[in-house]
Amino acid sequence: MKKENNGLKDLVINIVLPTLILNNMGKYLGEHGAVKALIIALAIPLGYAAWDLTKNGHKNIIAVIGFVSLILTGGLGLLKLEGIWFAVKEAGVPLIIGLITLISAFSKKPLVQMLIYNKAVMQTEKIKAALVEKQNEQLFQKLLKKTTFLLSLSFFVSSLVNYKLAINIFKKIPAHLTEAAKAELLNQQIAEMTWQGYVVMLIPSILSMGLILWYLSKGIERYTGYSFSEVVKTD
């Protein structure tokens, strides 16, 4: 139950509140209201991300990604850039993560090992003992490498989907509008990208992570003799 509440809290703080603020608050904040609304909308998830990073440190990779993405979005918005720049940003973040993930596959610690095959998630000592007994250590390392390749591919797909979505949302703002109207319209585009981006990426993310976990679990069963439920931590 605790995990479900945390997931709901993340959704509200990072998606629902910023969207509501960007769409509705600007008109109540007087002069430069749209800019003030943008700052407030970004401050809430940024403050939460900073708190989360302070609490969890370098272990919370998702918080780091979200923090960087929000800084880029806020920077582009405050600089009053539009269109292609937001599309590049939306595509660039998952693209960079995908490249880092791909590079990690060739290191001693593929990203999947850091995210999933660790002592906090799995009974690594139990797995390691079974691998040594069956002399399957090298085959298991290859499994982690292949799984990391799959993870990097999911980020590349995310990059393409984000780019296409952003191109459709961030249309050129008419030059004849006042600065306040331009800022308000940009806020609406950012709000639309915030919730639509979440919805569009949620299903592919669930499917890709499900596939990755299935592939990893089958490999663990093949090389250790244990089912995934026998080696994953439940407490």
> Which ranges constitute the DSSP H helices of the chain?
2-11, 17-24, 33-56, 61-78, 84-104, 111-115, 124-134, 137-169, 179-224, 228-231
The CA distance from 169 to 86, in Å, is 10
- Per the rule left: phi > 0, alpha: psi between -120 and 50, beta: everything else, 51 is alpha
What string of DSSP letters covers 126-163? HHHHHHHHHT-HHHHHHHHHHHHHHHHHHHHHHHHHHH
The total of other beta-carbon atoms located within 10 Å of residue 214's CB is: 11
The CA distance from 72 to 78, in Å, is 10
Burial 156-192 (b: 16+ CB within 10 A, else e): bbbbebbbebbeebbeebeeeeeeeebbbbbbbbbbb
Q: Identify the bridge partners of residue 195 per DSSP, sorted by sequence position.
A: none
Sequence ranges of the domains in the chain: 2-231
Angle (nearest 5°) at CA 9 between 2 and 79: 150
Tens of pLDDT, residue by residue over 164-214, are: 888 888 888 887 887 778 778 887 888 888 777 777 777 777 888 888 889
pLDDT tens-digit profile, the chain (235 residues): 344 445 567 667 766 777 777 666 766 676 667 777 778 877 877 777 777 767 765 445 555 566 667 677 777 777 777 778 888 888 888 888 889 889 988 988 888 887 788 787 888 889 999 999 999 999 999 999 999 999 899 889 888 988 888 888 888 888 788 777 877 888 788 888 877 777 777 777 788 888 888 998 999 999 999 888 888 877 6
Q: What global pTM score does this model have?
A: 0.72
